[in-house]
Structure 1
Amino acid sequence: MRNKGIDGVRGATALLCAGLLAGSAVLAGAAPAAARTSAGVAGGQAEDFRERLESIPGMTVTGVQDVRGYPQYALTYAQPVDHRHPDAGTFTQRLTLWHKATDKPTVFFTPGYDLFSDVTPLTDILDANQVSVEHRYFEKSRPSGPAGDDWSKLTVQQEAADEHRLTQALRGIEKGRWIGVGASKGGMTATYHERYYPDDLDGVVAVVAPNDADNKEDAAYERFFKTVGTRECRNALNAVQREMLLRRDTLLPQFEAEAKKEGATFEENLGTADRAYERGVLEQVWGFWQSGGVDKCPTVPDAKRATDDELYSWSRKNGMGMFQDEVLGTHSGGPHDRQAATQLGWAHLKLSHLDGLRRYPGLRHPDASLPAAMRGGTYEGRTVADVDRWVKTKGERMLFIYAENDPWSAEKFTPGKRDSYRYVAPGAHHGNAIEKLPPAQLAEAIGHVKRWADVK
């Protein structure tokens, strides 16, 4: 996720999602890549399969490449801009399909942001095909013309409908079991798909998927920051964060120089370097814990004794993002913030240790990072509250994995008793929840997924 505005330090979201799913392959003893991919696909078979894809109305094959001995098709699919009014225009949604065999399971991978097509370790474990889909209104899966500027169509329900149409179109070809998989915002996306179209998938795996069922209730986040790690580490982090604002006048020039060197700008979204600097500092402690802070606690500098260079350098490497235009606006950060402002919610952290030092009230509100054209959506909490209730009472074959030391894991989905499960990995952060699961729990979790996928 980005920083309740998601990913503390803005960066390669899809790579983070892949990392969240990474450790399982080794821990589950998956077969070596050479053993899994040696068969390949004969040219005639590949051509026939391509023709079958192209026969799907609205589906276009834009390319194909060999990935570990099997064809990966780059595809676009024509989707209604508004599923409530399907005749009102379409856009092309990007996806990829890594194909092994039509009778194998298929992993339906939702990164939740841009298109990310690397083969997930869970795909390997299931010896499965894999469909990866870009979220609507992210990067190139955005309508052209005026429709692309109508951000009211970027909703949980509309994306779930996109995925429903895709699964319906492709399940006629990939006939094995389908497992929805996602991490962070991708895990949320998979969960929303399951809630609205529970007959599409045969199981869902959601890793560190936040669940802000009540946007005004943030006690879980406050409790997290009061208990994570040790008291000494928490106090030292708060002191560094406070010092970064106390020394703003001397450290801001370093921030501006770094931004100039990297070609980063701030005018389109946050407006000024000073606002971007403060936003980065506000997210610093969140980013520290999200990225694995427990092991880094001994490196936290003495806030009063550290030089300006030591303080700034450490902070930029340990949770302080830049929040530049290049990752906001219509890029991945912007569409997410638009969703957070209207449906997904955000954390209203008190940050009382920074009282008297903040210049810009409301800077953590998602709208603060959006250009004017993307603002204006009114928050409605009915959707996420409904999904939360549905998961608890009606969800079936759902697996949630969270991380003990991850702020995004503070507010969790709670599955019911319909063949659904939740695990919390001790000592884990946002990027290593699966690999930190105790071996017995990991084996149990993978056993559930294999059973759902009908894999021995």
Structure 2
Amino acid sequence: MKLFRLICFLFVLSIVSCKSTAPVANIEKSNFEKLASIKNVVKIEKRETLSHFDENYEIWFEQPIDHNNPERGTFRQRVFLGFENPLKPVIVELHGYGIYSGKAGELAQYYQANQLNIEHRYFNNSKPDEIDWNTLTIENAAKDQTAIINAIRNVLYPNSKFITTGISKGCQTTMAHRRFFPKNVDASVCYVGPLNFKREDPRVYSFLDNVGTQEERNKIKAFQGLCFENREALLKLMKNAAKKENMSWEFGIKNALDYSILEYSFAFWQWGTDVKSIPSNTASTADIYKHLIDVVGYGFFEDSSVKSLQPYFWAALTEQGIYGYETKPFEKYFNSDEVLKFDWAFPEGVSKAYSPKPMQEIKSFLDNSAEKMIFIYGEYDAWSATAVDISESASKRGLYKFIKLKGDHKTRIKSFEKEKQNEIYNIIDSWLK
């Protein structure tokens, strides 16, 4: 009997032993778990699904304040991810500003692709408690973006094609990213982005002197003159608006009105204003003021807007360039022909000399070695004054430029006629194969 019990005991023991050494099933991690496992992800939240995406996430990455000097500390950078399929392309929207929505952009919508939106450093809450403005450089931003792209690729899309894209300052951001990391993604599509070579690039003035027809330019200048003739009445209306909307201007309300009038011609062409909407010289001051603000808005000079745009102004005044305002055409109202500039938009107590080197390096990159990039512009967009130049031979490297006739700053691929859209998408299709 003892022998029988011993045999039974050994038999049961062998079964238990076999079970304990059997291989454990490989349970696939969820996308949430994969993203949460990224070393420098400090917060992740699954959000309501948008567009065609199956899953949407808000992710916060911890980034060095200065990639060349990591001991200076870190900040958190926000990212939106729209997940569709691990085998489909990933469209990376490199924003020049903050991000507010995870909805599919033009390319992600067209290809029903995944989309990664990266907020630019120092916009919204993607910033340290105290900003050292000298760390806001196109190089640091490019390194932010590369770290995020690499991390997302490694955990979710190791076999997918990646295409970066950006609009306006986002286009500048996309160019800079490719200049520092030319092989980090497979291709890029850039919309309506300037490539300025001076802090106040004079090509803007030449553009405004020649864009459209002479009749249109005359009407624009006449309206600006009408505004200056009615300066005092318009100033009273601006003061009333300031009181009602609780607005203020660091450089004074009088300067705010002058800058708004001078900005009018740039904004008119940038946003494709209908020349028929320009008030006649018999219009009331209320109608004149309404049209001026409808075109220019308050968002470029008013204090709260300038504060939220501070990173834009810093970048423009130190590396990426902007423009100024010629007063010579309105010399009798200024008793001067100086160019009015944006020095007042520097952060309080901080300034820095403009360096032309970063944009010249991007130009050299585009001229000599850049590959697989498309540039989209509107012919009448004021920012086309400093558009990227593409040589005829650049197509051998996959560089293309498309200009929408009479297009403005809202020009996208869908803005073109169907035949041209097909041509553009055929190029992108070839990059995605």
Secondary structure, aligned partner of 2:386: coil
Distance 2:103 2:190 in 1: 17
In our comparison, the structure showing a higher alpha carbon Rg is 2
Shift of the 96–432 alpha-carbon distance from structure 1 to 2, 3 Å rule, reads same
Per the TM alignment, residue 363 of structure 1 is displaced from its structure 2 partner at its CA by: 7.7
Structure 1: 5+ residue runs without aligned partners?
1-43
| 1:436 alignment counterpart | 415
Aligned counterpart, 1:271: 251
Superposed, 1:232-311 pairs within 5 Å as: 232-266=215-249, 270-293=250-273, 296-303=274-281, 305-311=282-288
Determine if contact 2:92/2:162 at 8 Å carries over to the other structure.
Answer: yes
CA 1:364–1:203: 2 relative to 1, 3 Å: farther
Give the paired residue count.
397
Q: Does 1:393 align with 2:368?
A: yes
1:302 shift after superposition: 2.3
Match of 1:157 in 2: 139
CA distance 1:360–1:80, shift in 2 (3 Å): farther
Distance 1:277 1:428, change over 3 A: same
The one of 330, 344, 350 aligned to 2:326:
350
Point out the more displaced range, 444-453 or 199-208: 444-453
Q: Is the 8 A contact 2:62 2:76 kept in 1?
A: yes
Provide the rounded CA distance (Å) in 1 between the counterparts of 2:343 and 2:221. Answer: 25
Distance 2:45 2:263 in 1: 40
Aligned residue for 1:76?
Answer: 60
Cα gap change, 1:299 to 1:371, in 2 (>3 Å) = same
TM-score when scaled to structure 1? 0.82
- 1:88-117 superposed Cα distances (whole Å, 9 cap, x missing partner): 211101111111122211011012100132
Contact 2:81 2:116 in 1 (8 A): yes
Tell me which amino acid in the other structure corresponds to 2:40.
Answer: G
1:95 maps to what in 2?
Answer: 79
The residue type equivalent to 1:155 in the other structure is T
- Report the AA paired with residue 245 of structure 2: E
Aligned equivalents of 2:336, 2:72: Cα separation in 1: 41
Residue 351 of structure 1, CA deviation: 4.0
- State the Cα deviation string for residues 269-310 of structure 1 (Å, max 9, x = none): x332112222211211111111112xx11221223x222122
Alignment of 1:50-449 (within 5 A): 50-65=32-47, 66-68=49-51, 70-116=54-100, 117-145=102-130, 148=131, 150-172=132-154, 173-175=156-158, 176-215=160-199, 218=202, 220-266=203-249, 270-293=250-273, 296-303=274-281, 305-321=282-298, 323-329=301-307, 331=308, 333-358=309-334, 364-373=340-349, 375-415=350-390, 416-417=394-395, 418-449=397-428
Q: What is the letter of the counterpart of residue 284 of structure 1?
A: Y
The separation in 2 between residues aligned to 1:248 and 1:226, in whole angstroms, is: 24
Conserved 8 A contact 2:325-2:341: no
Deviations 1:389-425 (A, max 9, x none): 1111110000001110101011111342301100111
**1:12-48 per-position Cα deviation (integer Å, ceiling 9, x unaligned):** xxxxxxxxxxxxxxxxxxxxxxxxxxxxxxxx98x71
State how far apart, in whole Å, the 1-side matches of 2:227 and 2:85 are: 55
TM-score calculated relative to the size of structure 2: 0.87
* DSSP 3-state at the match of 1:64: strand
**Partner Cα separation in structure 2 for residue 80 and residue 362 of structure 1:** 41
Distance 1:361 1:91, change over 3 A: farther
Contact 2:324/2:339 (<8 A) preserved = no
How far has the Cα of 1:122 moved from its partner?
0.8
Which amino acid counterpart does residue 381 of structure 1 have in structure 2? P
Structure 1 residues 271 and 244: CA distance shift in structure 2, 3 A: same
Alpha-carbon separation, structure 2, partners of 1:125 and 1:213: 34
Alignment match, 1:38: none
Q: Is this contact kept in 1: 2:90–2:116, CA < 8 A?
A: yes
**Secondary structure of 2:122's aligned partner:** coil
Aligned residue type for 2:328: S
User: Structure 2 counterpart of 1:119, which letter?
Assistant: A
Sequence identity (%): 26
Give, in angstroms, the shift of residue 360 of structure 1.
9.6
Q: Does structure 2 retain, via aligned residues, the 8 Å contact 1:343–1:384?
A: yes
Deviations 1:193-223 (A, max 9, x none): 01100111100000101011344652x3233
What is the distance in 2 between the residues matched to 1:52 and 1:206?
30
Quickly say closer, same or farther: Cα 1:360–1:111, change in 2 above 3 A: farther
Offset, 1:311: 1.3
Deviations 1:202-256 (A, max 9, x none): 00000101011344652x3233212222212211111111221232212111011
Change in CA separation of 1:187 and 1:392 when aligned onto 2, cut-off 3 Å? same
Question: d(CA) in 2 for partners of 1:316 and 1:411?
Answer: 25
What is the distance in 2 between the residues matched to 1:360 and 1:370? Answer: 24
Q: Structure 2 CA distance, aligned partners of 1:53 and 1:362?
A: 54
Report the CA distance shift for 1:368/1:179 in structure 2 as closer, same or farther (over 3 A): same
Q: What is the CA deviation profile of residues 347-393 of structure 1, one whole-angstrom value per residue up to 9, with x for unaligned ones? A: 244342211323899784232234424x4111000010110111111
Q: Please give the per-residue CA displacement for 1:60-82, whole angstroms capped at 9, x wherever unaligned.
A: 34321222452111010011000
Aligned to 2:7: none
Deviation at 1:124, TM superposition (A): 1.6
Structure-2 separation of matches of 1:449 and 1:260: 51
Does the CA-based 8 Å contact 1:291-1:319 persist in structure 2? no
Residues in 2 aligned to 1:86 and 1:271: alpha-carbon distance in whole angstroms: 37
Cα–Cα, structure 1 residues 261 and 254, in superposed 2: closer, same or farther, change >3 Å? same
Structure 2: stretches of 5+ with no match in the other structure? 1-26
Worse overlay, 50-59 or 115-124: 115-124
**What root-mean-square deviation, in Å, do the aligned CA atoms of Structure 1 and Structure 2 show?**
2.0
Paired letter, 1:410: A
